[in-house]
Structure 1
Amino acid sequence: MILKKATLHVNKHFQIGEVDNRIYGSFIEHLGRAVYEGIYQPDSPFADEQGMRKDVLDLVEQLNVPVVRYPGGNFVSGYRWEDSVGPKEERPSTIDLAWRVIESNQFGFNEFMDWTKKAKTECMMAVNLGTRGIEAAKNILEYSNIKGGSYYSDLRRKHGWEEPHNVKLWCLGNEMDGPWQEGHKTAYEYGRLASEAGRAMKMLDPTIETVACGSSSLTMPTFGTWEDTALMECYDQVDYLSLHQYYGNRENNSADFLANTVAMDQFIKQVISICDAVKAKKRGKKDIHLSFDEWNVWYHSNEQDQKIEPWSQHPHQLEDVYNFEDALLVAGMMITLLRHANRVKIACLAQLVNVIAPIMTSDTGAWKQTIYYPFELISNLGRGTVLNTEIQVPFYESKHGDTPFLDSVAIMNEEYETLTIFAVNKDLKPSEEMELSADLRQFENYIVDKHVVLVHDDLKAVNTEENPNNVTPHANGNATLENGHLQAMLPAQSFHVITLKKQ
Structure 2
Amino acid sequence: MNATIIIDKDFQIARVDDRLFGSFVEHLGRCVYTGIFEPEHETADENGFRSDVIDLVNALRVPIIRYPGGNFVSAYNWEDGIGPVEERPTRLDLAWRTLEPNTFGLNEFMKWSKRVHADPLMTVNLGTLGIDNARNMVEYCNLEKGTYWSDLRRTHGIEKPHNIRTWCLGNEMDGPWQIGHKTPMEYGRLARETGKAMKLVDPSIELVTCGSSKYIMPTFPQWEVETLEHTYDIADYISMHNYYGNWDGNTSEYLALNVEVEDFIHTVKAACDYVKAKKRSSKTMMICFDEWNIWFHNKQEDKKLMSQEILPTATPLLEEYYTHEDALLVGALLISLLKNADRVKIACIAQLVNVIAPIIAEKGGKAWRQTIYFPFQHVSLYGRGIALEPMVSSPTYESDRFGPVPYVESIAVLSEERKELVVFAVNRNLEEPIDLHVELRSGNFRTVIDHQVMTANTLKDTNSCEGEIIRPVHSKKHAADERGITVSLPKASWNMIRLGSCKQ
Interval containing the TM-score (normalised by the shorter chain) = over 0.9
Specify every segment of 5 or more residues in structure 2 that has no aligned partner in the other structure, as ranges.
Answer: none
More moved, 76-85 vs 437-446: 437-446
Question: Any gaps of 5 or more consecutive residues in structure 1?
Answer: none
Letter in structure 1 aligned against 2:395? P
Structure 1 CA distance, aligned partners of 2:312 and 2:403? Answer: 44
CA contact (8 A) 1:216 1:245 kept: yes
Counterpart-to-counterpart distance in 1, 2:480 and 2:66: 41
User: How far did 1:10 drift?
Assistant: 1.1
Instruction: Tell me the residue number matched to 1:369.
Output: 370
Q: Quick one: distance in 2 between partners of 1:177 and 1:454?
A: 38
Task: State the secondary structure of the residue aligned to 1:271.
Answer: helix
CA distance in 1, matches of 2:314, 2:106: 17
Q: How does 1:352-501 map to 2 (within 5 A)?
A: 352-362=352-362, 363-398=364-399, 399-429=401-431, 432-444=432-444, 446-467=446-467, 469-501=468-500
Partner residue in 2 for 1:32 = 29
- Secondary structure of the 1:383 match is coil
**Residue 287 of structure 1: aligned partner:** 284
SS in 1 for 2:193: helix
Q: Does the CA contact (< 8 Å) of 2:166 and 2:206 recur in 1?
A: yes
Give 1:64's match in structure 2, choosing from 61, 65, 84.
61
Match runs of 1:4-83 below 5 Å: 5-83=2-80
1:6 Cα deviation after fit: 1.1
SS in 2 for 1:63: coil
- Deviations along 1:211-234, one digit per CA (max 9) or x if unpaired, are 000000110000010000000111
Q: Is the 8 A contact 2:23 2:66 kept in 1?
A: yes
Query: What are the Cα deviations for residues 7-38 of structure 1, in whole angstroms up to 9, with x where unaligned?
Result: 11211111000000000000000000000000
**1:324-374 per-position Cα deviation (integer Å, ceiling 9, x unaligned):** 000000000000000000000000000000000000011111000000000
Shift in Å, 1:446 = 3.8
> 1:501: Cα distance to partner?
1.3
Give the drift of 1:466. Answer: 1.2
Q: Is the 8 A contact 1:126 1:173 kept in 2?
A: yes
Q: Shift of residue 240 of structure 1?
A: 0.3
Aligned to 1:222: 219
The Cα shift of 1:476 comes to: 1.7
- Conserved 8 A contact 1:444-1:484: no
**1:314 deviation in Å?**
1.8
Task: Please say if residues 165 and 204 of structure 2, whose CA atoms lie closer than 8 Å, have aligned partners that are also in contact.
Answer: yes
Partner of 1:239: 236
Q: Distance in 2 between matches of 1:165 and 1:129?
A: 22
What letter corresponds to residue 471 of structure 1 in structure 2? I
Query: Distance in 2 between the 1:240 and 1:234 partners?
Result: 10
Q: Quote the Cα distance in structure 1 between the aligned partners of 2:109 and 2:225.
A: 34
Match of 2:315 in 1: 315
Which letter maps to 2:371?
A: T
Q: CA deviation at 1:482?
A: 2.7
Structure 1 residue aligned with 2:192: 195
For the residue of structure 1 that corresponds to 2:305, the secondary structure is: coil
Alpha-carbon contact 2:446-2:484 (below 8 Å) kept: no
* CA–CA distance in structure 1, aligned partners of residues 95 and 104 of structure 2: 18
Which range moved further: 308-317 or 89-98? Answer: 308-317
Counterpart AA for 1:373? F
SS of equivalent to 2:218:
coil
C-alpha distance in 2, partners of 1:66/1:84?
24
Per the alignment, residue 209 of structure 2 pairs with 212
Per-residue deviation, 1:488: 1.0
- 1:382 CA displacement: 0.4
Q: Partner of 1:259 in structure 2?
A: 256
Q: CA deviation at 1:445?
A: 5.8
Partner Cα distance (1:136, 1:403) in 2: 48
SS at match of 1:241: strand
Distance 2:239 2:445 in 1: 41
In 2 relative to 1, CA 345–445 (structure 1 residues): closer, same or farther, beyond 3 Å? closer
**1:313 positional shift:** 1.3
Q: Could you say which residue in structure 1 is the equivalent of 2:265? A: 268
Provide the aligned length of Structure 1 versus Structure 2.
497
Pair 1:296 & 2:298 matched: no
Give distance in 2, aligned partners of 1:234 and 1:345: 18
Q: Is the 8 A contact 2:19 2:345 kept in 1?
A: yes
Q: Percent identity?
A: 50
Deviation at 1:491, TM superposition (A): 1.2
Residues 264-302 of structure 1 show CA distances to partners (whole Å, capped at 9, x for unaligned) of 110001100110111000100110000000000001121
SS of the residue 1:237 aligns to: coil
SS for the counterpart of 2:500 is strand
2:97 corresponds, among 91, 100, 105, to 100
Q: Tell me, in whole angstroms, the C-alpha distance in 1 between the residues paired with 2:124 and 2:205.
A: 13
CA deviations 1:28-86 (Å, max 9, x no partner) are 00000000000000011110011000000000000000000000000000010000000
Q: How well do the aligned residues superpose, as a CA RMSD in angstroms?
A: 1.0
Partner of 2:341: 341
Q: Give 1:477 shift.
A: 4.1
Partners of 2:310 and 2:483 in 1: CA distance: 62
Q: Secondary structure at the match of 1:313?
A: coil
Question: Which whole-Å CA distance do the structure 1 matches of 2:466 and 2:298 have between them?
Answer: 20
What is the Cα deviation at residue 310 of structure 1? 2.3
The structure 2 residue matched to 1:109, chosen from 97, 106, 111, is 106
2:326: which partner in 1? 326
SS at match of 1:154: helix
Q: TM-score, normalised by structure 2?
A: 0.97
Tell whether the 8 Å contact from 1:479 to 1:498 is kept in structure 2 after alignment: no
SS at match of 2:233: helix
Task: Assess if the C-alpha contact under 8 Å between 1:95 and 1:311 holds in 2.
Answer: no
What's the secondary structure of 1:262's corresponding residue? helix
Cα shift readout 1:122-155 (whole Å, capped 9, x = no counterpart): 1000000010001100000000000000000000
- Whether contact under 8 Å (2:385, 2:414) holds in the other structure is yes
Give the AA of the match of 1:121: A
One-letter amino acid matched to 1:436: L
Counterpart AA for 1:424: V
Q: Does the aligned pair in 2 maintain the 1:211–1:239 contact within 8 Å?
A: yes
The answer to whether the 8 A contact 2:290-2:348 is kept is yes
Which position in structure 2 is the counterpart of 1:118? Answer: 115
Shift of 1:473: 0.6
